[in-house]
Structure 1
Amino acid sequence: MKEVRCGGCSRLLAKAEYVQIEIKCPRCKTLNNVKAIESLNPAPASARPIEEKHGQTNYPVDGR
């Protein structure tokens, strides 16, 4: 299982196996939207998110 932590205050919100989860932090009231990085058929490394913070995911830029 993976830990789901708040993007605002880093509080542990859940330990789960998930594809997508939306959970509101009871401490700081941040709404956290998290998608799983790993899947059964992993995408190429260039298509994987490189940073996840406050429910926002940044994907690598390939320079095109």
Structure 2
Amino acid sequence: MNTDIRCGHCGRKMAEGQYITLSIKCPRCRTLNHFKATSHPPAHQGVPNRTSPDANPSDHSLDRR
């Protein structure tokens, strides 16, 4: 999901995309804008979960087997 990155002073659209931290100077008003993501996206977006239900450790003790 891409986000519009706009100048905080004049509102000009400067970029579109995703960021974690970004410093960019507005070409119109020359204001230096600093952006920081509020949360990180998932590390492996779109990768299916391939863990089988049998791979989880059981809750039963192995002492009585």
TM, length-normalised to structure 2: 0.58
The count of residues paired between Structure 1 and Structure 2 equals: 41
Cα-Cα RMSD: 1.3
Gaps of 5+ in 2: 43-65
Give the structure 1 partner of residue 47 of structure 2: none
Partner of 2:19: 18
Distance, in Å, in 2 between the alignment partners of 1:33 and 1:40 is 19
CA–CA separation in structure 1 for the residues paired with 2:15 and 2:21? 13
Q: Shift in Å at residue 38 of structure 1?
A: 2.9
- Distance in 2, matches of 1:40 and 1:29, equals 30
Q: Which structure would you say has the larger Rg?
A: 2
Q: What's the counterpart of residue 50 of structure 1?
A: none
Give the number of the structure whose residues are more often strand, by fraction.
Answer: 1
Q: Percent identity?
A: 44
After TM superposition, where is structure 1 displaced by more than 6 Å over at least 4 residues in a row?
Answer: none
Which runs of no fewer than 5 residues in structure 1 stay unpaired?
42-64
The higher relative CO (CA closer than 8 Å, separation ≥ 6) is in: 1
